[in-house]
A = this chain, B = another copy of it.
Amino acid sequence: MARCIMRLSIHALLDYRIDAEADVLLQIEAAADEPTQKVIDGKMRVATGSELHPVPVEAGVGRRTWTRGRGPFRVEYRATVEVERAVREIAGLGITPYADLPGEAVPYIWPSRYCQSDRFASFVGKAFGDVEGGAKVLAMANWVHDQLDYVPGSSDGDTGAADTFISREGICRDYAHLLISFARAAGIPARMVSAYAWDLDPQDFHAVAEVWLDDGWHMIDATRMAPIEGLVPIITGRDATDIAFMTIFGRADLNAQSVTVERLD
């Protein structure tokens, strides 16, 4: 078990132009209810003064914020976050039998829009059937890392794990979707986490899988692009549908967008 304390400075900027007035959902704040991190001075604001209406997530970690925008739409989020996460060796953890799963883990054993885990039962049995416990998840993550190519632009909003399994290409969301699908097919609850990531190159919003092992959630990143110790979870969900950093319910054009995560100590 590795313990690591990091103090990170986070800055995210979303600069768009919205044609006609539109509702906007923002999911970009470092999660305040995540026990492994402490958010200091977190502040999100829309430059043009739109009011912000935060609502809780129905389940999991994080919160969502509604606002409205028209014309220039520029959101900034700044925070200092102290991450103190005891990253445990996945391989040493145990799989919880179905009948011992708590209510909060149950929905994550099932397929979702982008994670058609029901279709992978036979493959997962053959490919990972001999590995037990957390080592099974590790073997799955290694498979995903080795078999996929990281190709920006190779997937879109319709791409699910079944597509990625065939095309063997994707970005972080696709790596996470495939790993989540494999885990669920093996009876291991798995959800998706959006996060700020220290030491991610190029810097951007990141997304990884989180699996339920030994009565707790554990993040695992099949892209291996950023260390787990430097992840700052934003929000969790069943798959990418729940955790997009911004959804504009109307037409918008991108001017600029940037994410910066810097270590302070």
Residues of A within 8 A of B (CB): 23-25, 53, 55-60, 63-64, 66-68, 97-104, 106-107, 110-113, 116, 118-120, 122-123, 126, 147, 149, 157-158, 162-163, 165-169, 187, 237-238, 241-242, 249
Shortest beta-carbon distance from A262 to chain B in Å: 31
Identical copies in the complex: 4
Collect the chain B residues with CB atoms within 8 Å of residue A103's CB: 55-58, 63-64
Nearest-Cβ distance from residue A156 to partner chain B, whole angstroms: 10
Q: How far is the CB of A2 from chain B (nearest CB, A)?
A: 30
B166 touching A99 by the CB < 8 A rule?
A: no
Residues of chain B within 8 A (CB-CB) of A101 are 55, 66
> Are A112's CB and B241's CB within 8 A?
yes
Shortest C-beta distance, A232 to chain B (Å), equals 21
Most buried by B among A25, A59, A166: A166
CB-CB under 8 A from A120, the residues of chain B are: 166
Contact check, A242 vs B66: say whether CB atoms are below 8 A apart.
no
Q: Which of B106, B168, B249 contacts A122 (CB 8 A)?
A: B168
Judged by DSSP, the binding face of A is mixed
- Residues of chain B within 8 A of A149, CB atoms compared: 122, 126
A30 CA to B199 CA, complexed, in Å: 50
Contact A106 B58 (CB under 8 A): yes
A249 touches B67 (CB 8 A): no
Quick one: closest B residue to A110, CB to CB? B241
Distance of A68 Cα from B55 Cα, bound (Å): 38
Determine if A119 and B166 form an interchain contact, defined as CB atoms under 8 angstroms apart: yes
Given contacts A104-B58, A110-B113, contact A98 B166 (CB under 8 A): no
Q: Which residues of chain B are near A55, meaning CB under 8 Å?
A: 101-103, 106
Cross-chain contact A106 with B169 (CB below 8 angstroms): no
Q: Are A118 and B157 closer than 8 Å at their CB atoms?
A: yes
Closest approach, in angstroms, between the C-beta of A237 and any C-beta of chain B? 8
Measured CB to CB, the closest approach of chain B to A131, in angstroms, equals: 17
9 shortest interchain CB distances as A-B pairs? A55-B103, A23-B98, A58-B59, A66-B99, A56-B103, A110-B241, A23-B99, A111-B113, A122-B168
Please indicate the chain B residues that have their CB under 8 angstroms from the CB of A104 in the complex.
58
Q: A98-B249, A112-B241 are in contact. Are A119 and B53 (CB under 8 A)?
A: no
The answer to whether B58 touches A107, judged by C-beta atoms less than 8 angstroms apart, is yes
